[in-house]
Structure 1
Amino acid sequence: MKVLVATRATQGTRARDFSSCISGELVWVIDPCPVSLRNLNGPCGCGRSFTGMSSDGSTTTAVVREIADFTRTDYENALTSSLEAKGWCACCYSRTVPEFVGDLIAMAEPWPIGAVVGRRLDVLSLRAQLGPVGPEG
């Protein structure tokens, strides 16, 4: 299955880039806050970043990877475990875990393996194309 994982590839090519994730960790996207919706380049980066499932860090770049034998159930379990470890409950986010995972699968699917993408709300854009196993996740 194709997934999005944190990467530091292309970090720094844009003035508002940041990365505090672990390279290679699964990422998900939180819904943008009102501040980010008003100004994507403003003080809050939630509308232009991905969140690490392990580190809870954020990054403006993710890369598409293929994880053999990784299933939708595995993806849902990973996100559920991440949210539970952070103390989030179902009332803390706007969608169910299966809905979030469905969105993540849909985000990764059209891109080739090794595509480094950036996020602007619900739109991903290509920032670079790495080989099948690129540097740093």
Structure 2
Amino acid sequence: MKALVATEATQGAHPRDFTSCIPGELVWMLDPCPTSAANPNGRCPCGRLFSGFSSDGTTTTAVVREIPGFTRDDYEVALRASFEAAGWCSCRTRTSVPTAVDALIRLAAAWADGTVVSRRLDVITPRRR
């Protein structure tokens, strides 16, 4: 199964790039706050970042990776564990954990393995290498 994972590839290609994730860790997308929803390139970056499952760090780039043996159930368990470890409530997302996992799977499935992507709100776009 394909999944989005943190990467340092293409970091710095855009002036507002940053990463504090562990390269290769699974990532998910925070819901943008009202400030970021109005201007994802503005003061609050939450509408353009991915959040790491393990580190709870953030990054502006992710890469699509085929993870052999990884299942949808594994994905859901990992996201729930990430929320629990960080003391987060799954209510901080607009959708349930199962729905969020399904969305992440659909996003990753749309791109070839190795595609580096960035985010602007709910739009994911490939980056040039």
2:70 corresponds to: 70
SS of match in other structure, 2:91? helix
Matching residue's letter, 2:8: R
2:56 corresponds to: 56
1:99 corresponds to: 99
SS of match in other structure, 2:127? strand
2:26 corresponds to: 26
Q: CA deviation at 1:74?
A: 0.1
Whichever structure has more helix as a proportion of its residues is 2
SS of match in other structure, 1:44? coil
2:10 corresponds to: 10
1:123 corresponds to: 123
Matching residue's letter, 1:63: V
Paired with 1:65 and 1:21, the residues of 2 have a C-alpha distance of 16
Distance 1:67 1:91, change over 3 A: same
Matching residue's letter, 1:33: C
Deviations 1:42-88 (A, max 9, x none): 11111011000001111000000000111000000000000011112
Paired with 1:89 and 1:16, the residues of 2 have a C-alpha distance of 28
User: Any gaps of 5 or more consecutive residues in structure 1?
Assistant: 130-137
Q: CA deviation at 1:91?
A: 3.1
Matching residue's letter, 2:4: L
Matching residue's letter, 2:7: T
User: Any gaps of 5 or more consecutive residues in structure 2?
Assistant: none
1:111 corresponds to: 111
1:85 corresponds to: 85
Matching residue's letter, 2:12: G
Q: Please report the TM-score for the alignment, with normalisation by the length of structure 1.
A: 0.91
Deviations 1:4-60 (A, max 9, x none): 000010000101111010000000001100010111111111101100000111100
Paired with 1:90 and 1:26, the residues of 2 have a C-alpha distance of 17
Deviations 1:83-103 (A, max 9, x none): 011112233332111011011
SS of match in other structure, 2:112? coil
Alpha-carbon RMSD: 1.0
Give the % identical residues: 61
